[in-house]
Amino acid sequence: MNTTASPSHILPIPTPVRTGRGVTRRPLPGVVAACRTEGTTLNVAVQGEIDHFTAAPLSALLTSAAAFGHTRLVVDASRVTFCDSGFLNALLAWRRGGRRLILAAASAAVERLLRASRSGKLLMEEALG
Protein backbone atom coordinates (compact mmCIF):
# COMPACT_ATOMS: atom_id res chain seq x y z
CA MET A 1 0.00 0.00 0.00
CA ASN A 2 1.30 3.42 -0.89
CA THR A 3 1.32 5.69 2.17
CA THR A 4 2.14 9.35 1.86
CA ALA A 5 2.60 11.52 4.93
CA SER A 6 2.32 14.71 2.92
CA PRO A 7 -0.26 14.78 0.14
CA SER A 8 1.53 17.61 -1.64
CA HIS A 9 -0.08 16.65 -4.93
CA ILE A 10 -3.48 17.79 -3.63
CA LEU A 11 -2.65 20.47 -1.07
CA PRO A 12 -1.82 24.05 -2.01
CA ILE A 13 1.74 25.10 -1.30
CA PRO A 14 1.92 27.29 1.83
CA THR A 15 2.73 30.89 1.06
CA PRO A 16 6.36 31.85 1.78
CA VAL A 17 6.73 34.58 4.40
CA ARG A 18 9.87 36.67 4.75
CA THR A 19 11.04 37.09 8.31
CA GLY A 20 14.12 38.68 9.83
CA ARG A 21 15.81 35.27 9.77
CA GLY A 22 14.92 34.26 6.22
CA VAL A 23 11.95 32.66 4.50
CA THR A 24 9.52 30.45 6.38
CA ARG A 25 6.35 28.73 5.28
CA ARG A 26 3.03 29.90 6.63
CA PRO A 27 0.76 27.01 7.73
CA LEU A 28 -2.30 26.28 5.65
CA PRO A 29 -5.13 28.58 6.70
CA GLY A 30 -8.67 27.50 7.37
CA VAL A 31 -10.53 24.52 8.61
CA VAL A 32 -8.28 21.70 7.37
CA ALA A 33 -6.17 20.81 10.42
CA ALA A 34 -4.46 17.74 8.96
CA CYS A 35 -4.47 15.74 5.77
CA ARG A 36 -2.88 12.41 4.94
CA THR A 37 -3.23 9.90 2.12
CA GLU A 38 -2.98 6.12 2.24
CA GLY A 39 -3.34 4.65 -1.23
CA THR A 40 -6.70 5.87 -2.51
CA THR A 41 -7.88 6.93 0.96
CA LEU A 42 -7.77 10.56 2.01
CA ASN A 43 -7.79 11.20 5.77
CA VAL A 44 -8.79 14.74 6.73
CA ALA A 45 -9.14 16.35 10.15
CA VAL A 46 -11.20 19.53 10.19
CA GLN A 47 -11.55 22.11 12.94
CA GLY A 48 -13.17 25.37 13.95
CA GLU A 49 -16.15 27.01 12.31
CA ILE A 50 -17.15 25.63 8.91
CA ASP A 51 -19.69 27.66 6.96
CA HIS A 52 -20.27 28.46 3.30
CA PHE A 53 -17.16 30.64 3.09
CA THR A 54 -14.71 28.69 5.25
CA ALA A 55 -15.68 25.37 3.60
CA ALA A 56 -14.24 26.55 0.25
CA PRO A 57 -10.67 25.30 0.93
CA LEU A 58 -12.06 21.95 2.10
CA SER A 59 -14.18 21.69 -1.05
CA ALA A 60 -11.16 22.53 -3.20
CA LEU A 61 -9.09 19.90 -1.40
CA LEU A 62 -11.76 17.25 -1.92
CA THR A 63 -12.20 18.16 -5.59
CA SER A 64 -8.45 17.93 -6.13
CA ALA A 65 -8.23 14.62 -4.26
CA ALA A 66 -11.02 13.16 -6.38
CA ALA A 67 -9.25 14.30 -9.54
CA PHE A 68 -6.12 12.45 -8.38
CA GLY A 69 -8.08 9.22 -7.95
CA HIS A 70 -8.88 9.15 -4.25
CA THR A 71 -12.07 7.16 -3.74
CA ARG A 72 -12.43 7.01 0.04
CA LEU A 73 -12.59 9.91 2.50
CA VAL A 74 -12.20 9.52 6.25
CA VAL A 75 -13.17 12.68 8.15
CA ASP A 76 -12.31 13.52 11.74
CA ALA A 77 -14.69 16.35 12.64
CA SER A 78 -14.26 16.08 16.41
CA ARG A 79 -12.81 19.62 16.66
CA VAL A 80 -15.52 21.41 14.68
CA THR A 81 -17.16 24.05 16.86
CA PHE A 82 -19.79 25.22 14.34
CA CYS A 83 -20.92 24.02 10.93
CA ASP A 84 -23.73 24.69 8.50
CA SER A 85 -24.79 23.57 5.06
CA GLY A 86 -21.41 24.61 3.63
CA PHE A 87 -19.77 21.68 5.42
CA LEU A 88 -22.61 19.34 4.53
CA ASN A 89 -22.41 20.35 0.84
CA ALA A 90 -18.67 19.64 0.74
CA LEU A 91 -19.26 16.12 2.08
CA LEU A 92 -22.21 15.48 -0.22
CA ALA A 93 -20.24 16.63 -3.27
CA TRP A 94 -17.64 13.99 -2.42
CA ARG A 95 -20.32 11.28 -2.29
CA ARG A 96 -22.02 12.42 -5.53
CA GLY A 97 -19.07 11.07 -7.47
CA GLY A 98 -19.75 7.58 -6.14
CA ARG A 99 -16.92 7.87 -3.65
CA ARG A 100 -17.08 6.49 -0.10
CA LEU A 101 -17.25 8.72 2.98
CA ILE A 102 -16.55 7.67 6.55
CA LEU A 103 -17.17 10.11 9.36
CA ALA A 104 -14.68 8.78 11.92
CA ALA A 105 -15.49 11.33 14.62
CA ALA A 106 -18.02 14.12 14.96
CA SER A 107 -18.38 16.97 17.41
CA ALA A 108 -21.71 17.93 18.94
CA ALA A 109 -22.05 20.70 16.32
CA VAL A 110 -21.60 18.22 13.46
CA GLU A 111 -24.02 15.74 15.01
CA ARG A 112 -26.66 18.51 15.34
CA LEU A 113 -26.28 19.43 11.67
CA LEU A 114 -26.51 15.83 10.53
CA ARG A 115 -29.62 15.16 12.64
CA ALA A 116 -31.31 18.33 11.35
CA SER A 117 -30.73 17.54 7.67
CA ARG A 118 -32.31 14.82 5.58
CA SER A 119 -29.04 14.47 3.67
CA GLY A 120 -27.17 14.46 6.96
CA LYS A 121 -29.20 11.47 8.08
CA LEU A 122 -27.96 9.58 5.02
CA LEU A 123 -24.38 10.46 5.90
CA MET A 124 -24.91 9.31 9.49
CA GLU A 125 -26.31 5.98 8.30
CA GLU A 126 -23.32 5.48 6.02
CA ALA A 127 -20.90 6.38 8.83
CA LEU A 128 -22.56 3.91 11.19
CA GLY A 129 -23.06 1.14 8.64
Quick check: 93 and 59 in contact, CB under 8 A? yes
pLDDT of 7 above 60:
no
* Spatial CA neighbour of 79 closest among 49, 58, 120: 49
Neighbours of 51 (CB within 10 A): 14
Write down all domains in the chain, each with its CATH number in brackets: 32-128 (3.30.750.24)
* pLDDT tens per residue across span 74-97: 999 999 999 999 999 999 999 888
Which strands sit side by side in the sheet containing 32-38, from one edge to the other? 3-4, 32-38, 41-50, 72-83, 100-106
Residues 99, 92: Cα–Cα separation, whole Å: 10
- Going by pLDDT thresholds of 50, 70 and 90, the confidence category of residue 30 is confident
**Amino acid in the structure at residue 46:** V
Reported as a single tens digit per residue, the pLDDT across 37-62 is 999 999 999 999 999 999 999 999 99
